């Protein structure tokens, strides 16, 4: 029987690429999304992957969403915490809501989803959790104290949870993408984007499928000896 994966934010951008990569690896994928019903329906029609709607920042919503997936597809063995938002602004312009929305979804979503699936993974002695961090959680970014804090928190969350899961066959890893050619990056003004690319040693933006291939490895049987790691995929823009 195929393993079951939930990919949050799994119908667009990097999330869509991850959903497709896992599906191609023979994994049954449930692609979570938050609000755009039309695009989610188009994704399912295009890929054949079923989409499920819930807010990853809602603790009870995650528990209910996972329960629905398990009732329809089977026990969830893999979770990719990819869902995230930005609410950019310097700290003098950032409201409390801008701060809390990003922390609630980007970091809180990792906790909510892990809390929903970890007991079952531990009981079955197998599980894969992959959290999508960011280069900006490693290096910081002007005007993104909320986003950088949330993504940095993901990296710490990953290392701590990996220690809890290791002896039960549950691996927990993170990927820290650099600037990837997605709708979010496409919204950056052209002159700003040109300056960003100039700082990337390989001289280009990354592609979503390059992130997805790494996720697929970490979720595979062969990835079982990798846990507590953060893999930076950023074209050499930030090395440490």
Task: Tell me which residues are annotated as active site.
Answer: 147
DSSP 91: T
Question: SS3 string of 59-75?
Answer: HHHHHHHHHHHHHHHCC
Of 81, 57, 237, which Cα lies nearest the Cα of 158? 81
Of 208, 212, 135, 235, which Cα lies nearest the Cα of 176? 135
Task: State the Cα–Cα distance between residues 138 and 149, nearest whole angstrom.
Answer: 9
Strand, helix or coil for residue 32 = strand
């Amino acid at each position: 029987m195929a393993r079951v994966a939930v990919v949050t934010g799994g119908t667009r951008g990097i999330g869509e690429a991850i959903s497709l990569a896992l599906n191609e690896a023979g994994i049954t994928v449930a692609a979570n999304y938050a609000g755009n019903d039309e695009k989610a329906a188009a994704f399912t029609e295009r890929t054949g992957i079923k989409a499920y709607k819930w807010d990853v920042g809602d603790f009870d919503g995650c528990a209910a969403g996972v329960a629905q997936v398990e009732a329809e597809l089977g026990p969830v063995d893999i979770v990719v915490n990819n869902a995230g938002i930005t609410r950019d602004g310097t700290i003098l312009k950032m409201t409390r809501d801008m701060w809390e929305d990003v922390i609630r979804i980007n970091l809180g979503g990792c906790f909510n989803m892990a809390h929903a699936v970890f007991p079952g993974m531990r009981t079955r002695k197998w599980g894969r959790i992959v959290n999508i961090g960011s280069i900006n959680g490693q290096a910081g970014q002007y005007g993104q104290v909320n986003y950088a804090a949330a993504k940095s928190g993901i990296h710490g969350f990953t290392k701590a949870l990996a220690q809890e899961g290791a002896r039960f066959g549950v691996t927990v890893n993170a990927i820290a993408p650099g600037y990837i050619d997605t709708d979010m990056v496409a919204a950056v003004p052209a002159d700003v984007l040109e300056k960003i690319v100039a700082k990337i040693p390989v001289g280009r933006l990354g592609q979503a499928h390059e992130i997805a291939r790494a996720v697929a490895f970490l979720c595979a049987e062969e990835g079982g000896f990798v846990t507590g790691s953060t893999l930076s995929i950023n074209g050499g823009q930030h090395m440490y």
